[in-house]
A = this chain, B = another copy of it.
């Protein structure tokens, strides 16, 4: 950030009075430009023992498999956003949604909210951001070609709960240790 989005003047990185963090502050109008984490919201669409996966047609991680998910938009709830993402990425209608997990990913400033839901009529097809979609049974999940650690973790938790038949709301934090390794903290 170099310029004030309100008045167009230069911004400086400084700690405003009464604050304890560096913020971008306009040197002309004084506006403080806070930068905060984003919510990514998505779901596990279920249909007759299978789940809907989408193969990404966009970067990052082009060509890998993922659950439908994306940035929550202004003016929508996290559940509505999850349903919208399923519609955009897989032309899928999701109903009977329940909150499955909430994971923070501090190193990329994201909080994921993932729901379980029923894939209406089992119908799905690739949206603009997907190369293809599939309804995968557990042994068809492409574990070595999933998009992000949070998706791997969500699916692991999902199949663990499915085995017991007892689904609860999971939450925790995904911590990057180095370029290739993350640690998952379940609270």
Binding site for B on A (CB under 8 A): 1-8, 11, 18, 20-21, 24, 33-39, 71-80, 88, 97-99, 102, 104, 106-107, 109, 111, 113, 128, 168-169, 171, 173, 187
CB distance from A120 to the nearest CB of B (A): 17
Asked if A18 meets B102 with Cβ closer than 8 Å, knowing A2-B8, A74-B37, the reply is: no
Chain B residues with CB under 8 A of A187: 79, 97-99
The chain B residue with its CB closest to the CB of A187 is B79
Contact A39 B111 (CB under 8 A): yes
**Among B6, B74, B169, which residue has its beta carbon within 8 angstroms of that of A2?**
B6
Q: Which residues of the other chain, B, contact A6 by a CB distance below 8 angstroms? A: 1-3
Could you say which residues of chain B place their CB within 8 Å of the CB of A18? 128
Rounded to whole angstroms, the CA-CA distance of A50 and B140 in the bound complex is: 50
| Min CB–CB distance A157 → chain B (angstroms) | 14
Closest 4 A/B residue pairs (Cβ): A77-B104, A3-B8, A169-B169, A77-B173
